Amino acid sequence: MTGDAPAMLAGMLGVIRRDLLLAWKRPGDILNPLFFFVMVAALFPLAVGPSPEQLEFSGPAVLWVAALLAMLLSLNSLFLSDFEDGSLDQMLVSPVPLPALALGKSIMHWLTSGLPLVLISPVVAITFRMPASVTGFLMITLLLGTISLSLLGSIGAALTVGLHRGTALLSLLILPLAMPVLIFGARTVSLVAAGDGVAGGLYFLGAYAVLVLSFAPFATAAALRISNE
């Protein structure tokens, strides 16, 4: 029996469990993007100056840009080790539909890079003098936005797997597609800080995450097949 729901779920969970275990054995894979996020966020006050008004004003934008870059950094290795040790070939010939496995990889990427970013963001936000109420919204927008970024990024990672100079290329492919997420994520937090309504921005981020969830696994699967011909 191939392609039935329990088998698909089992395959997906298998991928997630295996990759989480791998990440647990090599914590650097999770921690490096986090350190990168904190450092990029720290660069801005150093460049802009310590004025509290400016920091408060630029906080949402800086945190969002730093989060976007940190997500990109970890995307490059998403399929790399699978490609090198042959696991990817096994996934391609597996009876479990490839989109389910691709979705598993995207979920794994979000768990190991999106979620930690969301959790650490309040700490960085404090240094930007962000009030607690605004920080809550920052976490919600990051939560919704990083889901879309993980899914979109998986497509780019699948397209560039096995290519030389993949990192710069991956950024070039994914950054334009990630603009709507950045715009709505950062602007929504800025609007909260200015005391405006935010429902529209949050709805958009949620709707976009659902839209990307509906097509990204299929695009990622198609890209993986093409990259491994």
Among 159, 189, 192, 193, binds another protein (CB under 8 A): 159
Ramachandran sector of residue 2 (left: φ over 0; alpha: ψ -120 to 50; beta: rest): beta
Tell me the torsion sign for CA atoms 168, 169, 170, 172. Answer: positive
Total Cβ atoms within 10 A of residue 206: 15
Among 50, 165, 194, 199, binds another protein (CB under 8 A): 165
In whole angstroms, the minimum distance from the beta carbon of 27 to another protein comes to 31
Smaller CB separation from another protein, 28 or 197: 197
Instruction: Build a one-symbol-per-residue string for 113-152: x at contacts with another protein by CB under 8 A, - elsewhere.
Output: ---------------------------------------x
Among 107, 173, 189, 193, binds another protein (CB under 8 A): 173
Q: Are the C-beta atoms of 174 and 152 separated by less than 8 Å?
A: yes
Decide if residue 226 touches another protein (CB under 8 A). Answer: yes
Give which of 74, 83, 76, 77 is closest to 162, Cα–Cα: 83
Decide if residue 213 touches another protein (CB under 8 A). Answer: no
Among 114, 204, 209, 217, binds another protein (CB under 8 A): 204
Among 180, 191, 206, 213, binds another protein (CB under 8 A): 180
CA distance 35 to 22: 19
Tell me the torsion sign for CA atoms 71, 77, 83, 86. Answer: negative
Give which of 145, 165, 180 is closest to 70, Cα–Cα: 145
Decide if residue 163 touches another protein (CB under 8 A). Answer: yes
Which stretch in 27-35, 75-83, 129-137, 211-219 sits in contact with another protein by CB under 8 A?
A: 211-219
Smaller CB separation from another protein, 30 or 65: 65
Which stretch in 5-13, 80-88, 131-139, 177-185 sits in contact with another protein by CB under 8 A?
A: 177-185
Estimate the share of the chain in helix, then strand, then coil, as percent rounded to the nearest 5.
Answer: 85, 0, 15
Decide if residue 210 touches another protein (CB under 8 A). Answer: no
